[in-house]
Amino acid sequence: MLTTEEILDLLSTLILDLSSIREQMTDAIDRAAINNQIMALTKLWRKIDDIRASEPRDDLADAKASLEGITQDLKKEKKKLENVAKVIHKAAQAIAIAEKVFKLVA
């Protein structure tokens, strides 16, 4: 059984990784795109945190697994930073998952 706390931890990790990647960017458009993803994830993190339920939930398992996969992909991408589009795509996937979690706990 999972709690929203575990999901919030993963979202925090993603936000930190994206922030680190953003700092490595030299192109202003790429930085802005990643910054928009960070702001969207942060907004969802706050919404989930505001209404979080601490009781375990089975329906969060898929979200956790997906977020863990995205976290691993971003960590790999952060090391070589060859494909900004991939980073932005992964962040968009994380936003979609966070929105789904928000709807589940709301």
Strand partners, 57: 2
Q: Which residues contact 64 (CB under 8 A, 6 or more apart)?
A: 2, 6, 7, 10
> Is 0.85 topped by the overall pTM?
no
How far apart CA 76 and CA 24 sit, in angstroms, is: 14
Q: What pLDDT score was predicted for residue 93?
A: 95
Q: Phi/psi of residue 83, each to 5°?
A: -130, 95
How far apart CA 97 and CA 71 sit, in angstroms, is: 13
Please check whether residue 90 is in contact with residue 70, taking contact to mean a CB–CB distance below 8 angstroms.
yes
Give all domains of the chain, ordered by start, each with its CATH number: 4-105 (1.20.930)
Q: What pLDDT score was predicted for residue 51?
A: 81
Q: What pLDDT score was predicted for residue 54?
A: 63
Question: What would the pLDDT profile of 11-27 be if each residue is shown by its tens digit?
Answer: 999 999 999 999 998 99
- Ranges of residues in the chain whose predicted pLDDT is under 70: 1, 53-55
Q: What pLDDT score was predicted for residue 89?
A: 92
The angle formed by the CA atoms of residues 13, 85 and 37, to the nearest 5 degrees, is 45
How far apart CA 42 and CA 83 sit, in angstroms, is: 23
Q: What pLDDT score was predicted for residue 53?
A: 63
Could you say which DSSP state residue 71 is in? H
